[in-house]
Amino acid sequence: MPQDPLHDSLLAWFRAPKRPLLIIAGPCVIEQSATNDLIASTLHEACTALKLPLVFKASFDKANRSSIKSKRGLGIDRGLAELARIRDAFRVPVTTDIHDPAQASLAARSVDMLQIPAFLCRQTDLLVAAAETKIPVNVKKGQFMSPAEMKNVLDKLKEGGCDFPMLTERGTFFGYNRLVNDFIGVGDMMELGAPVCFDATHSTQLPGGGGTATAGRPERVPLLAKSAVAAGVDAIFLECHPKPSESASDAATIQPLSEIPALLRTLVAIRQAIVSHS
C-alpha cells in the first residue's frame, strides 16, 4: 500500500497517545456495488458527523462458512478491486481478512489493514506473511484462546516486522453453540500493549446453532458494544446491512444499517463520559 493521506491517517491513529474511538464496519462479505455504496455512504456520513475515524470492512472470501453451499464472496481479484473502488469513492481506509499467506502481499496493495480470522490466529506463517507487508494487522482472538495467549500472537507479528498490530475480542466458546465475553479478559488483553477492538456482532453468534448456518442474538449487539466502550476499548467492530435477512453472510447477527447512526451516537456519549472522568 503506497503512502497516501488515507493510509497515513490510520497509522496516525495507531501512533496517537490518546486514540479516538475507531469504528471498523461494513458488510460481512462484499455485496453488490449498490449495496456496498449505501453501507459505505451511511457509515461515512455518520462517522464524519461524530468525528469518529472509520475503516470500511468487507471480506472478498469467507472460507470458514458452516456449509459448503454457503455464499463465499467475489474472490480475491474482484473483491480487492471492489474494495479499492470503495476506498477511492468514499475516501475511507478499508480492511479485509486473509486466509492464506500468499494472499497477504496481494491484499496489502489494495487495503490499509489486514485482518486475521479468529480460527487462524495461531497460524504462524499467516501472521508472519501479514506482518511482512508492513501495514497494520488486526488479529481476532480465537474463540478457543485465553487473552494471555494473544501475547504469543503479538510476538509473532513483531518478529515478522509489524509495527501496527491490533487485537480483537469476538467471544469465547462456552459449551456448544454459545459464545461469551469475558470483560476481565478484555482488560487483560488491553494490558498487552496493542490497541484492542471489540467485535460486537460476532460476539452474539451461536456457532453452528442453525445447523448448516450460524445462529445468533443480534438484539444484544448494542448492549455489548456499549459495555465494551465503557470498558475502554480502542475500537468497535460492527457488521451492518440495509436488509439483514438478505445479507450474503452472517444474516443471523448482522445489524440493520438504519440503526447504526443512533448506536454510534450512544457510543460517543459513553466514550466522552469515560474520558472526562479518567
Q: What pLDDT is recorded for position 275?
A: 87
**How far is CA 4 from each of CA 88, 100, 107, 111, 150, rounded to the nearest angstrom?**
12, 27, 17, 12, 31
Name the DSSP class of 39. Answer: H
Answer yes or no: is 56 within a domain.
yes
The CA distance from 149 to 23, in Å, is: 25
Task: Name the amino acid, one letter, at 237.
Answer: F
SS3 category, 91: coil
Q: What pLDDT is recorded for position 252?
A: 87
214 in Cβ contact with 64 (< 8 Å):
no
| Torsion angle (degrees, nearest 10) of CA 133, 138, 143, 148 | 90
SS3 category, 216: strand
* Burial of residue 128, with CB atoms counted within 10 A of its CB: 0-12 exposed, 13-18 middle, 19 or more buried: middle
Answer yes or no: is 125 within a domain.
yes
Select from 223, 153, 226 the least CA-distant residue to 189: 153
Answer yes or no: is 4 within a domain.
no
Q: What pLDDT is recorded for position 214?
A: 76
pLDDT tens readout for residues 25-36: 999 999 999 999
Residues of the chain with pLDDT under 70: 1-3, 62-73, 210-213
Domain CATH number, residue 217: 3.20.20.70
Please state the domain count of the chain: 1
Select from 15, 19, 28 the least CA-distant residue to 56: 28
Answer yes or no: is 42 within a domain.
yes
Estimate to the nearest angstrom the gap between the alpha carbon of 159 and the chain centroid. 23
Q: What pLDDT is recorded for position 213?
A: 67
Instruction: Read off the C-alpha cell for 198.
Output: 471489540
Domain that holds residue 209: 21-276
pLDDT tens readout for residues 177-201: 889 999 999 999 999 999 999 999 9
- Quickly tell me which residue has 492464506 as its cell: 100
Record the pTM.
Answer: 0.94
The CA distance from 62 to 171, in Å, is: 19
Task: Name the amino acid, one letter, at 144.
Answer: F
Answer yes or no: is 12 within a domain.
no
- H or E element: which one contains 76? helix 76-90
- H or E element: which one contains 127? helix 124-132
Give the bridge partners for 180, in sequence order: 172
Q: What pLDDT is recorded for position 67?
A: 46
Name the DSSP class of 31. Answer: -
Q: What pLDDT is recorded for position 2?
A: 53
Answer yes or no: is 45 within a domain.
yes
Answer yes or no: is 212 within a domain.
yes
Instruction: State residue 23 phi and psi, 5-degree precision.
Output: -110, 120
Answer yes or no: is 5 within a domain.
no
Q: DSSP string spanning 161-194?
A: T-SSEEEEE--EE-STT-EE--HHHHHHHHTTSS
